Amino acid sequence: IDKAMSEKANDVDYFADAYMKVLGAILSEDDLENLRNYRIINLKSRESDDPNETPENLDVDFLSKPNADTTQENLINRVIDNLYQVSMITNLNDKDFGNSTGVALEMKYKPMLNLATLKARGFTEALKDMYQVVFASDLIENIDREAWKDLDINFKYDLPHDTLSEAQTAQILANLVSSETWLKTLSIVNDPRQELERMDKEQREQIQANMQVLKQNNAVTDGETNANSRTSQEADRLSART
């Protein structure tokens, strides 16, 4: 790519510094200065006006070499395509890249995801080795030496996702696997364990809110009558009369 771009730059410089050729006339220093100053070419093909003198063919043009711009552009495009294919990297500047669906984009990112997954495995092993040394150093209190074996290291990749398909898949897996496992299928959930804790907290708060509503609506809870209910008040009135 550098070589092709360098050749294109040389071509630009060549055309900017092209030589003008004048065949059939001899130009003096004054003629050259006038051409340079006024940028007007007005020449004749013979020195005198004698009709018996045979005029020479006058030719005024710029020296030019064959134009290889199309060949250079094709070479650059071919080299760039092969570069991305060999390196297994997605070309984000592809003109057709922005018109693809979420599933198609995910498939285009597949080679990059495979490379990232391979690097993540090595990075996971390195992190576990580091934590093994830290936990074995007794510098952290109340931490077991073998706690590094229970570490769960997850890497999140910035990839396009089809959220509709993920939601449908999660609904299908809801009754087949554990809650933490089916939460992992959702890209919008960063930490499944933390999400489960939030769900449990919201459920407990909802139960408490429902119990409070039941108490306010004269309901019976825990086998005891609500003292503020109408039933309790009627019973108190009957007891007072008797």
Tens of pLDDT, residue by residue over 81-118, are: 888 888 888 777 777 666 666 667 777 788 888 888 88
CB 90 within 8 A of CB 84: yes
CA-CA distance, 61 to 24, in Å (whole number)?
12
The encoded tokens of residue 91 equal 């070309």
Adjacent-strand bridge partners of 21:
61
CB 43 within 8 A of CB 86: no
Return phi, psi of residue 20, to 5°.
Answer: -95, 135
Chain-centroid distance, C-alpha 211:
48
CA-CA distance, 242 to 237, in Å (whole number)?
9
Kind and range of the H or E element at 237?
helix 230-241
CB 41 within 8 A of CB 25: no
Domain parsing of the chain, residue ranges: 19-63, 100-160
User: The pTM is what?
Assistant: 0.40
pLDDT at residue number 126? 93
pLDDT at residue number 97? 66
CA–CA distance from 162 to each of 50, 100, 106 (Å)?
Answer: 87, 12, 9
pLDDT digits (tens, 9 = 90+) for 108-152: 788 888 888 889 999 999 999 998 888 888 777 788 888 888 888
Kind and range of the H or E element at 183?
helix 179-184
CA-CA distance, 40 to 34, in Å (whole number)?
8
CB 219 within 8 A of CB 225: no
